[in-house]
Amino acid sequence: MKNDLKARLLELVNKFSGVRVLVIGDLMVDEHIFGEVNRISPEAPVPVVLVKKVNRVPGGAGNVANNLNQLGVNTYICGVIGKNDEYGKFLIKYFKKNGINSDGLFFSDKKGTIVKTRIIAHQQQLCRVDREDSLPIDEKMVKEIIKYVKRIIKEIDAILLSDYRKGVLIPALITEIIKIANDNSKIISVDPKVEHFMYYKNVDLITPNHYEASDGIKMKINNQEDVYKVGKVIMKKLNLKSLIITQSKDGMTVFEKNKKPRHIPTNALQVYDVTGAGDTVISVATASLAAKADILESAILANYAAGIVVGKVGTAPVTKNELLTVLEKL
């Protein structure tokens, strides 16, 4: 890497502390139960797990907010949690402890906090238990979220929509948030879901993986040439400023209005777990754009960060120091 690019990337990461990003989306708790198996249950032919440790971290949009926070970004979180449930209380406590602004949390007596529990014994995941309600938020909740966003829009530099299709980012809310961001000249980025693909028009950046990009516009991807074709169609259909299509072990491809697409090979040395890699890409790319990076610089930083996170096990963010350390070694 040329010294001037390295210096620029380091400069951008150090600017993250002056950036303010609002994350809106589907909040979850990722719970890992670690234990030992020494016998089979007499009730059914299944292992009996003796619990040794339970670990909980924010998932979904919460993991995106956690990524931004660990990068040094001033982070705001907006979403819906269950009213007076254990996991919602955990998220409130976690965000408060870590300095994430949680004034945008709204309580629902209809939707409980989403929880994904993974049971692990001897480094092997035995099963996953999901507790979730994908019921769309009602009109009253949409209005409350919009009111909150309008109230703080002058305070922030960017809005990041983290869509897991669990009922918060419904079309009416997506459309209105994009309008608010554009009317106030704020950066808006999206980690998309296929079902809402055509609602992400007129945004600064979306970051689908190659499956989502393919399904989103019903075009097959079999090779890199197909990625270029699909990306160009998405850019035109959604009127985007930029697009990053992530391609797992094959890196990512970057598209920008009126410029040729660029492919970036992966920087991952070892891949243990791809959980949360998409959250890392959208977090770092958005923070970079808010720090006045161009889309290629943003994608390069996001690619290095993703290379770090896939070397970790479970839902784990990339820290500012980890990213700086990798860049310093280039």
**Contact predicate 33/119, CB 8 Å:** yes
**Res. 328 pLDDT band, cuts 50 70 90:** very high
**Res. 269 pLDDT band, cuts 50 70 90:** very low
pLDDT of residue 278: 87
* Whether pLDDT at 280 is above 70: yes
**26 is annotated as an active-site residue:** no
* Whether pLDDT at 275 is above 70: no
- Show the CA angle centred on residue 234, arms to residues 229 and 237, nearest 5°: 125
Q: Report yes or no on 199 lying in a domain.
A: yes
**Contact predicate 174/159, CB 8 Å:** no
Q: Domain holding 270: CATH number? A: 3.40.1190.20
pLDDT of residue 266: 81
Q: Report yes or no on 47 lying in a domain.
A: no
Q: Name the residue range of residue 291's domain.
A: 3-29+59-114+133-328
Quick: pLDDT tens for 121-157.
Answer: 998 999 999 999 889 999 999 999 999 999 999 999 9
The active-site residue, picked from 138, 226, 279, 294, is: 279
Quick: pLDDT tens for 300-313.
Answer: 999 999 888 876 65
pLDDT of residue 274: 46
Q: Report yes or no on 126 lying in a domain.
A: no
Q: Report yes or no on 51 lying in a domain.
A: no
Q: Report yes or no on 39 lying in a domain.
A: no
Minimal CA–CA distance to 187: which of 111, 92, 293, 100? Answer: 293
The domain total for the chain is 1
Please state, for a pLDDT cut of 90, what percent of the chain lies above it.
85
**Res. 260 pLDDT band, cuts 50 70 90:** very high
Q: Report yes or no on 36 lying in a domain.
A: no
Quick: pLDDT tens for 178-195.
Answer: 999 999 999 999 999 999
Q: Report yes or no on 122 lying in a domain.
A: no
